[in-house]
Amino acid sequence: MSAPREHILLGMGNPLLDISADVPDTYLEKYGIERGCACLADPQHLPLYEEMVETFRVDYTAGGATQNTIRVAQWMLQRPHATTFVGCVGDDRFGAMQRMCGEKDGVNIQYLVDPTEATGTCAVLVNGKERSLIANLGAANLYKSSHLSSPTVWSLVEAAQFFYFSSFFLTHGLESAVMVCKHAVENNKTIIGNLAAPFLIEFFKEHLFQVFPYWDFIFGNEAECMAFGKTLGLGTEVKEIALKMTTFGEKLNSRRHRVVVITQGPEPTLVATEGKVTEYPVVKIPADKIVDTNGAGDSFVGGFLSQLVRGKGIDECVRAGNYAACTIIQRSGCSFPERPEFP
């Protein structure tokens, strides 16, 4: 298998310190949190972070959806600095902890450090096999395009051939996302996006539509796909919506077809492109071996991208995505063994 070169994949996102704990139903009910949801923290949620630390045994992990994906891709690639991650943290120990974790994994970490705000955190509330994510963006919300355009970081943009960001980043980083998208189209590089969460499609669709024409690959799960279909009137069936997404609106780089990848938990993964939808069965993991589904979707994308940047076909990319997700749901948080066992 060909070795990837340095800096081939660059991700932009919200670096958040994941604070994970097993919590009972009553804790979710107390804060009005649905099992399996992913949302930004409302004022009513803010006390839960301190309460989690005081009440439960917690684990700390470098997180945020895109940072998780980049860490997993880096793990699968096994070449130092094959990947770069860009985002904003505070000048505090949580930011330092995330940098240490990412660098230990081999990621080229390029944080903007903003001393005016604390590093962002994400409460990962594990309830049985489900987890709910409540993100308090903190400093992650303060990323500036001036950092992206700085000589050091922009040189990494120029070096990269693949770019990845999720819709979470668009709530505040739209200008930076568009800068990278335009560079990618002008240089025939690949842009990969993620729908990320149904509420983003509903409440930030104008931001989403500014980058959608640039996306060559789009990832999402069935709930996000359905939300996209409902918002745009594209149908009520996942396969139908995924296929319509491949040709929805303008595509600014006409040199490659758009590919839409929809995960469905234990059900087959769908890949839509060039007028057809292909189903890929997933490996069934016994319930008693599933430790934590936190990061399963992020891990799938990371595994997929690890082969995409090597020039592999879709079949192999999906196989790698399934391997990464299956490995990580058998561990606590978005963590992984020292080396992958992926042939």
Show which residues are catalytic. 298
> Measured between alpha carbons, how far is residue 113 from residues 105, 143, 178, 186, 330 in Å?
20, 9, 22, 30, 33
By DSSP bridging, strand 16-22 and strand 108-114 are: unpaired
| CA 135/CA 272 separation, integer angstroms | 30
Q: What one-letter code names the amino acid at 55?
A: T
Please, are residues 228 and 245 in contact by the beta-carbon 8 Å criterion? Answer: yes
Q: Contact, 127 vs 25, CB < 8 A?
A: yes
List, in sequence order, every residue forming a beta bridge with 285; answer none if it has no partner: none
Residue 124 to residue 103: CA distance in whole angstroms: 23
Distances (CA, A) of 322 to 19, 50, 234, 297, 330: 25, 35, 28, 10, 13
Q: What is the number of helices (H) and of strands (E) in the chain?
A: 13, 14
CA end-to-end distance (rounded Å), the chain: 9
Closest CA to 261 of 179, 333, 164, 182: 164
Nearest-angstrom CA–CA distance, 274 and 280: 17
Q: Could you tell me whether strands 130-136 and 276-280 are parallel, antiparallel, or unpaired per DSSP bridges?
A: unpaired
